[in-house]
Structure 1
Amino acid sequence: MKKLFASYIDSFSGLRKEIWLLALITLINRAGTMVIPFLSLYLTKSQGFSLEQVGWILTFFGLGSVTGSFLGGKLTDIFGHYKTMAGSLIGSSVLFVLLQFPQDFWTFCLGIYLVMSIADIFRPAVFVAISAYSKPQNRTRSLTLIRLAINLGFSAGPALGGLIIATAGYDGLFWVDGITCLFAGVLLLKLLHPKRAVEEPEEEITNTASAYQDKLYWVFIVALMLFGLVFIQYFSTVPLYYSEVHQLSELEIGLILGLNGFFIFLFEMPLIKYLENRNSGTLNYVIFGAFLTALSFLVINLTGWVGIIIVGMLLVTIGEMIAFPFSNTFALIRSQGKKRGSYMALYSMAFSVSHIFGHNSGMQLIDNFGYDFTWYTMTGLAVICILLLLLLKKFLAREAA
C-alpha cells in the first residue's frame, strides 16, 4: 500500500508552483460554475421551458462557447494570457449573477450566449499559460493537472449545487457562481504574475502553415467534434434522463455527476503515467476512450435497473480520462514546429462546436423519439468517431512513410 501511495504522489512531482496555482484558480472557477450541469433542469423545472426551447437555448450556449474560444485566442495574442484570464473571470462573475433575471425565451438565449462568450475566453488563455509556466518535459502532466482541477471542480460543484438547490433554490446557484468566479479572478491577479513564467527560448517555427491548412488535423478535429457531441450529453440530456426515467432528485443527480469528477481526481494522473509508460500510441488511447464512451450509452439501454446508470457513468469517466489527455497530447505533437496557437485554438473550438449541435440535437431526439433511440444514436456517432480515428491512423502511417 505504501508503494502504491508513493507511486501516486510521484506522479505529481516535478511540477512548478505556478502550475499548482493555476490549477487552484481553475478549481475554484470550475467548482463555481455549478449552474451549468443543472441548466437543463433549471430551464424545464423552474422556468417552464419546453425541451425544444431548452435545446435552442443550449445551442446559444455552444455559440457563445465558440465565440469565447475565438476571442480568447485573439485577446491572448494582443494582451497576453494573464490579462485575458483575469478579464474573463471577473466579467463572467457579473454575468453569472445577472443570468438569473431573464424570464422569456429570447432574453435567456442572449444571456447564456453572453455568459459563455466571456467565460470561455478563459480556455485558450489557459493553454498558453500552461505553456508559459511549465517546463517542456512536464507539459503533458501539467495539462493533466489542470484537467484534474477542472474535474475536481465539477465533482464538488454539482454535489454542492444540488445541496444549494435543495436549501436555497436555483437563484442561490447564480450568486455562488458569480462570487467564486470573482474570487478566482482576484487570486489570479494576486498570485500568478506573468513574470513567473519559465524563461526558455521559444520553439522554432519551421512550418508557417496554420492548423486550418492541415487536412489530416481536420480529420482529427471532426472526430473530436463527434466525440464531444456524444460526451456532453452527460451534462444536459442525461441529467434529464436521471430525473424523468429514474426519478432521481437534484441532490442525487448532483452526487452522481460528482462521482465523475471525484473518480477522475483520484485516478487520472496515475492512469496517464501508466499508459504513457506502456507507449501504445496516442491515437490508440483516444480510440479506446471513445469506445468506452460508446459503451456507456449502450449499457444504460439494456436494463431498467437504476444501478446501471452508475455503470454507465464509470464507463464514460474512464473513457474521458483516457481520451481527453491523449487527444490533447496529439494536438501538441502535431503542432510542433508550427503555429501552435492555431492548433490549440482549433482543438478548443472542436468542443465548443459540439456544444452548438450536441445539446440541441439531444433534446430534439428525446422530444421526438425518446431516450432509448437517443442513446442508440449517441452510440452510433461514437462508432463513427472511432472509424474516423482509425482512418486517420492509416493516413498518418502513409505520411510518415
Structure 2
Amino acid sequence: MKSLIRLYINSYKGLSPAAWLLALVMLINRTGSMVIPFLGLYMSAELGFSKPQIGIVLGCFGLGAVFGSWLGGWLTDRFGSFKVQMWSLFGVIPIFLILPTFKTFEGLAIMIFLLSLVSDVFRPANSVSVARYAKPENITRAYSLNRMAVNLGFSIGPALGGFLAGFSYNWIFYGNAIGASIAVIVFIYFFRNRAPKSNLQDVQIKQTAEEKTTERSPYKDGLFLIFSVFCCLFSMAFFQLLGTLSLFYKEVHSLNTSQIGLLLGFSGFVIVLFEMVLVHLVEHRFSVRQIMFWGTAIAGISYLMLTLDFGIGWLFFAMFLLSTGEMLTLPFTATVAIQRAGRRNQGAYMGLNSLSFAMAHIVAAYIGTYIAEHHGYSTLWLITGSTLICCGFGFYWIIGKLKST
C-alpha cells in the first residue's frame, strides 16, 4: 500500500505550479461544458428538429473546431498564448448567453459553428502554454495532467448540466457562460505576469534539428503531415466511443441509459485515476514510438473484443482496455508535435495537431453509423479495431522517421 501511495506521489512530483494552474483553468472551463452532451436532446425535445437537421448542426460544431484549431495556432504564433487563451475564454461568454434566442435551424447552425470556432481557438494556445511552463523532462506528464482535468471536467459538467436542464435548457447555456467567466478570471489572475519557465530549445533532441524546424511551416513538413494523417485516422476510429458505441450498447446489449452512462463514465474514472501514474511509469522506460504503438494496438484490441458477447463484465473490460490505449497514445501526440516545432512556430504545430483530431469529429459519427446500419456492428468493430492496429504500425514507422530528421 505504501509503495502504491509513493508511486502516485512520484507521478505528480516535479510538475511546475504553472502546470497545475493551467490544469485548474481547464478543469473550470470543461466543467462548464454542458451544452454539447445535451445539444442533440435540446434540438429534438425543445426545438423539434429532425434527425438530419440535428446531424447537420452537430457537424457545424465539428467544422468550427477545424477552423478554430487552425486559427488558434496561427494567432498563438503572432500574439502569444496568453492573449489567445484570454480572448477565447472571453469570446464564448456572450455567445453562450445569446444562444437560447436562436431557435431556427439556420440560426442555431451558424451560432454553433461560431461557438466551436471561438472555443477551439483556445486549444493550441493552451497546449503551447503547457509546453512553455513545464519542465522539459515533464512535458508529457504536464499534458497528461491537463487531459486529466479535461476528463474530470467532462465528468462533472454533464451531471451539473442534467441538474440545470431539470429547470430549463436555457440554464445549460447560462451555466457554460458562468464557467467560462470563472475560468477567464482565474486565468488572468494567475498568468498575467507569469513568465514561462522553460524554453523549447531545452526539449529539442538535437540543435541541428531545432535549426531546421524553427521557420518551417507544419503544413509544408511532409513527415509531420503523415503523422497528422495517422492521428486523424486514429481519432476517427477511437471517437466511435462518442457516438456509435452508446447505440451499440442499447441496440445489441439492451442496456438502459443508466447502464450506458455508467460504462461511459467508467472510462473517465479510469483516466482520472490512472493516467498520471501510467505515463510516469512508461515515459522514461520506453520510447515514444513504442508507447504509441502499444497504446494504439491495445485500443484496437478493445474494439475487436466487442465482436464477442460475454456479458456486461466483458464490456467493462473492453472499456478499461480502450481507456488504457487512450492514456498511452493521446498525451504523446502532443509531445511529438511540440518537439517537432521550433520556438516561433509552436502554435502552428499544435494547431495542426488539434486540427487532425477536429477533422475526425466531423466524419467519425457519420461513418460509424453508416457502417453499423448497412453492414452491422460486428463489421464496424472489425474495421475500427483493424484501423487502430494499422495506425499503431504507422505511428511506429513515422515517429522513427521524425526522430531521424
| TM bucket, shorter chain | 0.7 to 0.9
Distance 1:109 1:237, change over 3 A: farther
Alpha-carbon distance, 1:206 to partner = 0.7
Give the aligned partner of residue 309 of structure 1: 315
Report the AA paired with residue 211 of structure 2: T
Asked whether the 8 Å contact 1:225–1:351 carries over to 2, the reply is yes
Distance 1:261 1:375, change over 3 A: same
List per-residue Cα deviations over 1:132-181 (Å, max 9, x = no partner). Answer: 3223233222222111111111222234444555x446444333222212
Give the aligned partner of residue 321 of structure 1: 327
Give the aligned partner of residue 186 of structure 2: 187
Alpha-carbon distance, 1:306 to partner = 3.7
1:147 aligns with 2:141: no
Within a 5 Å distance, the mapping from 1:33-48 to structure 2 comes to 33-44=33-44, 47-48=47-48
Q: Secondary structure at the match of 1:196?
A: coil
Report the AA paired with residue 153 of structure 1: G
Report the AA paired with residue 302 of structure 2: S
Give the aligned partner of residue 194 of structure 2: 196
Between the aligned residues of both structures, percent identity stands at: 38
Alpha-carbon distance between aligned partners in 2 of 1:148 and 1:212, rounded to the nearest angstrom: 29
Alpha-carbon distance between aligned partners in 2 of 1:97 and 1:332, rounded to the nearest angstrom: 35
Among 349, 374, 385, which residue is 2:380 paired with?
374
Asked whether the 8 Å contact 2:132–2:200 carries over to 1, the reply is no
Alpha-carbon distance between aligned partners in 2 of 1:396 and 1:189, rounded to the nearest angstrom: 36
Alpha-carbon distance, 1:101 to partner = 4.5
Asked whether the 8 Å contact 1:52–1:363 carries over to 2, the reply is no
Distance 1:389 1:19, change over 3 A: closer
List per-residue Cα deviations over 1:274-324 (Å, max 9, x = no partner). Answer: 112322x21221122222222232222322734443233222111110001
Segment drifting more, 231-240 vs 5-14:
231-240
Alpha-carbon distance, 1:239 to partner = 3.2
1:346 aligns with 2:352: yes
Runs of 4+ in 1 over 6 A off after TM superposition: none
Asked whether the 8 Å contact 1:55–1:361 carries over to 2, the reply is no
Alpha-carbon distance between aligned partners in 1 of 2:171 and 2:250, rounded to the nearest angstrom: 21
Alpha-carbon distance between aligned partners in 2 of 1:369 and 1:35, rounded to the nearest angstrom: 32
Segment drifting more, 237-246 vs 210-219:
237-246
Alpha-carbon distance, 1:50 to partner = 4.7
Alpha-carbon distance between aligned partners in 2 of 1:373 and 1:170, rounded to the nearest angstrom: 37
Distance 1:199 1:319, change over 3 A: closer
Alpha-carbon distance, 1:225 to partner = 0.2
Q: Secondary structure at the match of 1:206?
A: helix
Give the aligned partner of residue 332 of structure 1: 338
List per-residue Cα deviations over 1:31-77 (Å, max 9, x = no partner). Answer: 21133234445445655545544433332221100111122122223
Q: Secondary structure at the match of 2:226?
A: helix
Q: Secondary structure at the match of 1:146?
A: helix
Give the aligned partner of residue 217 of structure 1: 224
Alpha-carbon distance between aligned partners in 2 of 1:343 and 1:43, rounded to the nearest angstrom: 35
Asked whether the 8 Å contact 2:224–2:402 carries over to 1, the reply is no
TM-score, normalization by structure 2:
0.87
Asked whether the 8 Å contact 1:23–1:149 carries over to 2, the reply is yes
Segment drifting more, 35-44 vs 129-138:
35-44
Alpha-carbon distance between aligned partners in 2 of 1:369 and 1:114, rounded to the nearest angstrom: 35
1:300 aligns with 2:306: yes
Among 220, 233, 239, which residue is 1:226 paired with?
233
Asked whether the 8 Å contact 1:55–1:359 carries over to 2, the reply is no
Q: Secondary structure at the match of 1:14?
A: coil
Q: Secondary structure at the match of 2:37?
A: coil
Alpha-carbon distance between aligned partners in 2 of 1:97 and 1:139, rounded to the nearest angstrom: 36
Distance 1:64 1:241, change over 3 A: same
Segment drifting more, 104-113 vs 226-235:
104-113
Asked whether the 8 Å contact 2:140–2:279 carries over to 1, the reply is no
Alpha-carbon distance between aligned partners in 2 of 1:239 and 1:172, rounded to the nearest angstrom: 26
Alpha-carbon distance between aligned partners in 1 of 2:49 and 2:125, rounded to the nearest angstrom: 34
Distance 1:306 1:111, change over 3 A: farther
Report the AA paired with residue 192 of structure 1: F
Alpha-carbon distance between aligned partners in 2 of 1:270 and 1:246, rounded to the nearest angstrom: 33
Give 5+ residue unaligned stretches, structure 1.
none
Within a 5 Å distance, the mapping from 1:246-257 to structure 2 comes to 246=253, 248=255, 250-257=257-264
Give the aligned partner of residue 272 of structure 2: 265
Within a 5 Å distance, the mapping from 1:2-401 to structure 2 comes to 2-44=2-44, 47-165=47-165, 167-168=166-167, 170-193=169-192, 195-198=193-196, 203=201, 205-207=210-212, 208-246=215-253, 248=255, 250-279=257-286, 281-303=287-309, 305-335=311-341, 339-392=345-398, 395=401, 399=404
Distance 1:74 1:297, change over 3 A: same
Alpha-carbon distance between aligned partners in 2 of 1:19 and 1:158, rounded to the nearest angstrom: 25
Asked whether the 8 Å contact 2:134–2:197 carries over to 1, the reply is no
Alpha-carbon distance, 1:202 to partner = 6.1
Alpha-carbon distance between aligned partners in 2 of 1:48 and 1:241, rounded to the nearest angstrom: 25
Report the AA paired with residue 206 of structure 1: E
Q: Secondary structure at the match of 2:394?
A: helix
Asked whether the 8 Å contact 2:97–2:173 carries over to 1, the reply is yes
Give the aligned partner of residue 204 of structure 2: none
Asked whether the 8 Å contact 1:88–1:122 carries over to 2, the reply is yes
